[in-house]
Chains A and B, each alone.
Chain A
Amino acid sequence: MRAIKRIIPLLFFIPFIYSSCQQNDEYVSELPQGFPELEIPEDNPMTNAKIELGKKLFFDTALSRDSTISCGSCHFMQNAMTDPKRFSIGIDNQAGTRNAMSLANVAYGTSFFRDGGVPTLEIQVITPIESTEEMDIPIVDVAKRLNQNAEYRKLFKKVFNDEVTPFGITRAISAYERTIISGNSPFDKYHFQGDDTALNDSEKRGMELFFSDKLNCSSCHTGFNFSNNTFQNNGLYVVYEDIGRMRIEMDSVNYGKFKVPTLRNIEVTAPYMHNGSLNTLEEVIEHYAKGGMHGKYQSELITGFDITDSEKQDLINFLKSLTDKDFITNPNFAP
C-alpha cells in the first residue's frame, strides 16, 4: 500500500509534464451577441502568442520590398480597417485600382477580395505581399529577411517551433485578422442585446426602410454582417472598367459583379463601392433610388424606389447606427 501512495502522485505528475510541453495558450474569443461561432481552420488554431505575432507582422513595413509599406498602411483602425483614400498608395507611390476593404469580421468571409478570387484568409496574405503595386516582395524573401532578426526568430520558434517560414507568416497574420471583430454598434445593442433605447426614432424608421420590400436592401445586405457573401452587379455602370467577378469566373453573367460588402461601420469607410467612386451615403442612396444604370447584367433586385428627403435622412441615420465606436478606437487594431 505504501508503494501505491507513492505511485499515485507520480501518475498525476506525468500527464502534467506532457501537457506543459504543449502550448496552453488557446485564445478564447468573446463574440458579440448574435454572432455565429467562428470556424477556425485545423492547421491554424488561435493562440494568444500567435495573434500577437500576427499583429506585429501586420504593422511591420519589413513585409515590403523597400520596407515602406505594411498591411496597416492601407487598413486603418479609425476607418474600420479600410483606407479613406479612393485608391490606396502602395510601393513606389503606386495607386491601385480598387478601394481597400474593411477587415471587420473578415473571419466570417467565405471568399476574399472584391471578386472573391481567394478562397482562404491564409492564402490571401500572400497577395498584397507579392503584388507589384502593393508590397512587391516574394514571401520567401520576407521569411529570409525576418530570419535575420533575432526577435522574430524567437517568436516563430515559440509559436511554430520553427524558423520564419511563409507558412508561419500566413498563419500568424490570419489568426490576428480573425480577432478583428466588430459587433457592438447601437444597432447591435438594440437588435441583439435588447436595449430598446439604443436607437432613436429616426434610426428606427430608417431600419424599417432598410429592411422593407420597397427598398430591398436586405435582399443582399443581410444577416449579422449585412452581407449574403454573394457577388452582385448593383448597377453602378453599363460598361465596367473593372469587370469584377468575371475576371475569376469568365462567364459573362459575372460581368460587373462584386462581393456584397458589409455595411458595418459604413459611416467611417467612405469612399464607397469597389472603386471608391461614390463619396457619400447620400450619393449611394440616390444611386439605388434611381435603380442603377440599367446595364444588361445588372441584378434584377435593383429596381429603384421613391424616397422623400426625410426618409433618406432616416435611412442614413440608420446606416450610421452601424458604427461600432469601441471597434474603431480599439488599440488592438492599431500599431
Chain B
Amino acid sequence: MKALRYILPLFIFITFTFSECEDDPKPILPVENNLRLDFSASVGTNDFSVDTEFLNEDSHPTKFETFKFYISRVTLVKADLTEIEVKDVALVDFKSNFSKKVRMNVPSGNYVAIKFGIGLDSVLNASDPATFPQSHPLGISQGTYWSWASQYKFAMFDGRVDTVGNLGSATDVLVSIHPGTNPLYRKIGGLQHTFTTNTTSTEVVNIDVDMFEIFNGDAGKVDITVDNQSHVTPSDKHIATRIMDNFVNAFSIE
C-alpha cells in the first residue's frame, strides 16, 4: 500500500504533463474581426458585377464571369507614420458578396492610410498549395494555382467581349487574362484614409476598384478585342504587365 502512495502522484503528474501540451483556451475577443475591407468594382461611373453586361471603354458589350485578385501584406499606417502588417494574404473574389470582403483583427488605434500588394510577394508565391486548409486563400481549391509553373495567378479576368452586336453568342471574343509571376507583383503606395479601430465594433473601409483604370490607365490601354489572352508567356507577358501597372492606380477609398 505504501507503494501506491508513490505511484498515485506519479500518475497524476504524468497526466498533468501531457494535458499541458494542449493549447490554452484562446482569450475571448469582444468582436471577431474589428476591421473589414469591403471591395466593390466599378466601370467608370457605373457599378461592376460578375456575370453582368457592361460597356467597356470602347463601348463594346463585355461580361466577366470571373474577376478575382490577391492582395497581400496588408499594412496600416499610423498617424506617426509607423506601419504595421495586419494580414498576410486575402483573395478578393467578386463571385459573391461574402468573398469580396476581407476580414482581419488589428490593434486598436488611429490610422491614416492602408497599403497592400496586388498579387503575392515571392515568399507567398512559393507556397505549396496542398499544405493549406480548403478555405485558405492559397489553398489548391481556389483555382488560382498554375501547376506547370508552380506559382499563383495574381488576378483572373475571364469573360467575353462582343464586337458584332450580340453578346452571349458564338461570335463573342473570349477573354482570359491571368497576370502572375514574381516580377509582376505590385504594391500600392498607400490609400489615404483616416479611421479608428477598437475592440468592440468592426470598422468598415469601402475600397473601389475601377475596371476602366485597369484596362485603360496610365500605363496604356489593353484592347481586349485584340489582346485578350495572357498567361504570362514571353509572347503575351506585355498584356499582363500593363494590366498590373494599371491595377496599382485603380483603387480608391469611398
Query: Which chain A residues have a beta carbon within 8 Å of chain B's beta carbons?
Result: 2-4, 6-7, 10, 14, 43, 113, 117-120, 122-123, 126-127, 130-131, 138-140, 165-167, 169-171, 243, 246-248, 250
| Contact assessment for A118 and B150 in the assembled complex, using a CB-CB cutoff below 8 Å | yes
Chain B hits for A130, CB < 8 A: 147
Judge whether B14 and A14 touch: CB under 8 Å: yes
Contacts of B129 in A (CB 8 A): 123, 126, 166
A123 touches B128 (CB 8 A): yes
Q: How far is the CA of A4 from the CA of B10 in the complex (A)?
A: 12
B7 contacts the other chain (CB 8 A):
yes
Whether B150 contacts A166 by the Cβ 8 Å rule is no
B130–A123 CB distance below 8 A:
yes
Q: Check B130–A3 contact: CB distance below 8 A.
A: no
- Is B3 in contact with A2, judged by CB distance below 8 angstroms? yes
Question: Which residues of B (169-192) have their CB < 8 Å from a CB of A?
Answer: 181, 183
A169 and B126 CA atoms in complex are apart in Å by 19
Distance in angstroms between the alpha carbons of A6 and B6 in the assembled complex: 10
For A169, give the chain B residue with the smallest CB separation: B130
> Can you list 10 pairs linking A and B with CB atoms under 8 Å apart?
A10-B10, A117-B150, A118-B147, A127-B147, A127-B148, A130-B147, A169-B130, A170-B130, A243-B234, A247-B234
- Excluding A167-B131, A247-B149, 18 further A-B contacts by CB distance (< 8 Å) are A2-B3, A3-B2, A3-B5, A6-B7, A7-B6, A10-B10, A14-B14, A113-B148, A117-B148, A120-B128, A122-B130, A123-B150, A127-B147, A127-B150, A131-B148, A140-B141, A250-B183, A250-B234
Among B128, B131, B183, the most chain A Cβ lie within 10 Å of the Cβ of B128
Q: Mark B1-15, 1 if CB is under 8 A from A, else 0.
A: 011011100100010
Q: How distant is the Cα of A2 from the Cα of B11 in the complex, in angstroms?
A: 18
B234 touches A126 (CB 8 A): no
Query: Quick check: is B156 within 8 A (CB to CB) of the other chain?
Result: no
Q: Are B140 and A139 in contact (CB under 8 A)?
A: yes
Q: How far is the CA of A138 from the CA of B140 in the complex (A)?
A: 9
A-contacting residues, B19-40, CB 8 Å: none
The complex places the Cα of A208 from the Cα of B224 at a distance, in Å, of 59
- CB-CB under 8 A from A4, the residues of chain B are 6
Q: Give the shortest distance, in Å, between B176 (CB) and chain A (any CB).
A: 14
Shortest beta-carbon distance from A253 to chain B in Å: 12
Residues in B with CB closer than 8 Å to A167 are: 130-131
Tell me which of A113, A165, A166, A247 has the highest count of chain B C-beta atoms within 10 A of its own C-beta: A166
**A169 surroundings in chain B (CB, below 8 A):** 130
What per-residue 1/0 map shows which CB atoms of B222-254 lie under 8 Å from chain A?
A: 000000000001100100000000000000000
Interface residues on B, range: 20 to 34
Bound-state Cα–Cα, A4 to B3, Å:
7
Interface centre among B14, B130, B149, B233 (most CB of A within 10 A): B130
Given contacts A7-B6, A10-B7, are A122 and B128 in contact (CB under 8 A)?
yes
With both chains docked as a complex, state the minimum distance between the C-beta of B181 and any C-beta of chain A, in angstroms: 8
Question: How far in angstroms is the closest Cβ of chain A from B175?
Answer: 19
Given A120-B128, A126-B129, A126-B145; A166-B140 close (CB under 8 Å): yes
Residues of A within 8 A of B183 (CB): 250
Q: Which listed residue, B128, B145, B149, touches A248 by the CB 8 Å rule?
A: B149
Question: For B2, what are the chain A residues with a Cβ–Cβ distance below 8 Å?
Answer: 2-3
Once bound together, how far apart are the Cα atoms of A4 and B6, in whole Å?
8
Q: How far is the CA of A27 from the CA of B134 in the complex (A)?
A: 30
Q: Contacts A14-B14, A130-B147: A6 and B128 contacting too (C-beta < 8 A)?
A: no
CB-CB < 8 A to B10: which residues of A?
A: 7, 10
Q: Which of B3, B148, B149, B237 has the most CB of A within 10 A?
A: B148
Neighbour of A7 across the interface among B3, B233, B234, CB < 8 A: B3
Within the complex, what minimum Cβ distance (angstroms) separates B147 from chain A? 4
Q: Tell me how far the C-beta of A317 lies from the nearest C-beta in chain B, rounded to whole angstroms.
A: 38
Instruction: Give A255's nearest chain B residue, CB to CB.
Output: B234
Nearest CB on A from B132, distance (A): 9
CA distance A117 to B131 in the complex (A): 19
Query: A170 contacts which chain B residues (CB < 8 A)?
Result: 128, 130
A126 near B7: Cβ-Cβ < 8 Å: no
Q: Which of A6, A7, A43, A123 has the most CB of B within 10 A?
A: A123
Q: Are B130 and A119 in contact (CB under 8 A)?
A: no
A126-B237 in contact (CB<8A): no
CB closest chain-B residue, reference A127: B147
Q: Which residue of B lies closest to A246 (CB)?
A: B234
Contact for A119 among B3, B5, B14, B150, CB less than 8 A: B150
Q: Which residues of A contact B140 (CB under 8 A)?
A: 126, 138-140, 166
**Once the chains are docked, how many angstroms separate the CA of A170 from the CA of B2?**
55
Interface string of B120-148 (1 = CB under 8 A from A): 00000010111100100000110101011
Given contacts A6-B3, A7-B10, A140-B141, contact A166 B130 (CB under 8 A): yes
The CA-CA distance from A3 to B126 in the complex, in Å, is 58
Alpha-carbon gap, A6 to B1, bound state (A): 11
CA A303 – CA B242 in complex, angstroms? Answer: 41
| Shortest CB distance B203–A (Å) | 35
Task: Considering the complex, give the chain A residue whose CB is closest to the CB of B5.
Answer: A3
Q: Is the CB of B6 within 8 A of A139?
A: no
